[in-house]
Amino acid sequence: MCAAAWLPAWNIALAATAPDTNHAPGRSTYRAPYAAVQPNIDGIADDPAWDQAEWRELKHRWLGPDYSPDDFQGRYKVVWSGSRLYLLAEIVDDVLIDTHRDPLQQYWDDDCLEIFLDEDFSGGNHQYNHNAFAYHFSLDNRAIDIGTDETARDYTAHVESNWKQTGNKLIWEVAIDVYTDAYVDDADDNIPANLAPGKVLGLMVAYCDNDGSELRENFIGSEFVPGKQRDRGWIDAGVFGRLILTDSSE
């Protein structure tokens, strides 16, 4: 007999509504529709799949002073297909900077689109493990994160990335193979997770804006992060939002 059978009814009800202690309160929810036709990752946002998804703003200032609409504006939308998430970002940034030409050096202090991904919405620490990933998409379309050996690594093999300037906006499209916490650095048999409607992942999106300073000037993200250390998404998957995959735009 399972232990639950001995629990009084009120206790079972309590368990069903137990607070999510693995995440900070106030996480957002985003519903990503299935893409019947996968977007072409070319920096042109004319793919029909994007019409199905809703915009979400990058509006939470984690680091740096107030900024103007000319300095930075950002929003994104997400769809999915197979084992990939597809993300369209629309960014206004007055100065594009890639000062550190070595992709593994101070990559967060160059302009970059940062996509935080937790395959099973577990929350928890992910600084030196693959409980979650924090892909830093550079202007040269690489994706960098820290490996289990505690050093920066190039995970560009997990992604496709392409952006184009249209008017005063960067139209940035990326596709990401979703890997679980079983991912092993340098192994040649890592298999991306199979995605399905109803699956819940952790997702957070941010932009590191540098317009000529030694260090990035602003770090602006999609989730409200409570407390003093608002830039802690690269360590703590508990501040990511909830991404729910749906089978349509409903």
Residue with tokens 């202690």: 21
As a whole number of angstroms, the distance between CA 162 and CA 156 comes to 12
In whole angstroms, the minimum distance from the beta carbon of 249 to Ca ion comes to: 18
Residues 6+ apart with CB under 8 A from 179: 119, 130, 133, 158, 190, 192, 193
**CA-to-CA dists, residue 85 to 7, 21, 78, 88, 164, angstroms:** 40, 26, 7, 10, 20
CB-nearer residue toward Ca ion: 90 or 120: 120
String of contacts with Ca ion for each residue 98-137, x by CB under 5 A: -------------x------x-x-x--------x------
Q: Is there binding between residue 177 and Ca ion (CB under 5 A)? A: no
Reduce the DSSP state of residue 143 to 3 states and report it: strand
In whole angstroms, the minimum distance from the beta carbon of 153 to Ca ion comes to: 18
Position of minimal CB gap to Ca ion: 122
Residues between 11 and 40 that touch Ca ion (CB under 5 A):
39-40
CB-nearer residue toward Ca ion: 91 or 225: 91
Q: Is there binding between residue 90 and Ca ion (CB under 5 A)? A: no
Q: Is there binding between residue 95 and Ca ion (CB under 5 A)? A: yes
Residues between 194 and 233 that touch Ca ion (CB under 5 A):
209, 211
Q: Is there binding between residue 47 and Ca ion (CB under 5 A)? A: yes
String of contacts with Ca ion for each residue 54-73, x by CB under 5 A: -----------------xx-
As a whole number of angstroms, the distance between CA 182 and CA 13 comes to 33
Dihedral (CA of 70, 219, 22, 199) sign: positive
In whole angstroms, the minimum distance from the beta carbon of 46 to Ca ion comes to: 6
Select from 93, 160, 223, 236 the one that contacts Ca ion (CB under 5 A): 93
In this structure, what token pair is assigned to residue 210? 């540098």
How does strand 241-246 pair with strand 200-209? antiparallel
As a whole number of angstroms, the distance between CA 123 and CA 120 comes to 8
Which spans of this chain sit near Ca ion (rule: CB under 5 A)? 39-40, 42, 44, 47, 71-72, 93-95, 111, 118, 120, 122, 131, 181, 209, 211
